[in-house]
Amino acid sequence: MKFFADTSDIDAIKDLADCGMLDGVTTNPSIIAKSGREFIPLIEEICGICAGPVSAEVASTDFETMMKEGEKLAKIADNIAVKVPLTEAGLKVCKNLSEGGTMVNVTLCFSPLQALLAAKAGATFISPFVGRLDDIAQNGMDLIGDILTIYDQYPDFHTEVLVASVRHPAHILESARMGADVVTCPPSVIKQLYKHPLTDKGLAGFVEDWKKTGQSIL
């Protein structure tokens, strides 16, 4: 399963890359606004760090302007995935960009039928938002199961399921159990995966016992 970092924080992206935990990066207009940085130079910088797909989202909602924005974003680097919303116009942009060889990430997916449309439009990635469904008392992970079941029926679909709006490690665990292709997570959630109280306790015990030997490996 691939780990994408759902952030534009350069230090966090570099840190995950150094740990071998970075397969791609996703951004959205809210993440860009939070960064306080100019969009295009920021995406260029991220593409210089991350060799995997880097999602950069269009800002408009009409077909013509989204196409122009998508074409401009796609020129930033070979590893750009243009992110478009799951609307009729967005999927039309998806079809056109995909046919031209550009990776497309279709975002804001909240139903299995929307995911079916995205696959038919040639999406490279479909981004179902599990956390935002949980927020309204629907089970976000049920949506992932439904999409995987549907995609499995059709070997000519090549769209990868990119679990988005991840809030906690349980979303990652369930995604891995189900065989989702990608999870995109805030770096803090990826860091939580290293943690286990028995690891900390066990390591403290080993460190103490090693001191008693009076030895040094180096």
Q: Residue from 127, 141, 175, 183 that binds ligand E4P (CB under 6 A)?
A: 127
In angstroms, rounded to a whole number, what is the distance separating the alpha carbons of residues 69 and 29? 13
Structure tokens at 160: 């990868």
Q: From CA 70, how far away is CA 59, in angstroms rounded? A: 9
Q: Is 159 in the site for ligand E4P (CB under 6 A)?
A: no
What sign has the CA pseudo-torsion 41, 60, 103, 93?
negative
Among 129, 144, 172, 183, binds ligand E4P (CB under 6 A): 129
Q: How far is the CB of 167 from ligand E4P (least distance, A)?
A: 7
Catalytic residue among 14, 68, 83, 92: 83
- CB-CB contact of 8 with 42 (8 Å): yes
Interaction pattern, residues 16-55, with ligand E4P; x per rule: CB under 6 A? ----------x-x---------------------------
Identify each DSSP E strand in the chain by its residue range. Answer: 2-6, 24-26, 54-57, 80-85, 103-109, 125-128, 160-163, 182-185
Residue 211 catalytic?
no
**Cβ distance to ligand E4P smaller for residue 173 or 204:** 173
Sites of contact with ligand E4P (CB under 6 A): 6, 26, 28, 107, 127, 129, 131-132, 164-165, 184
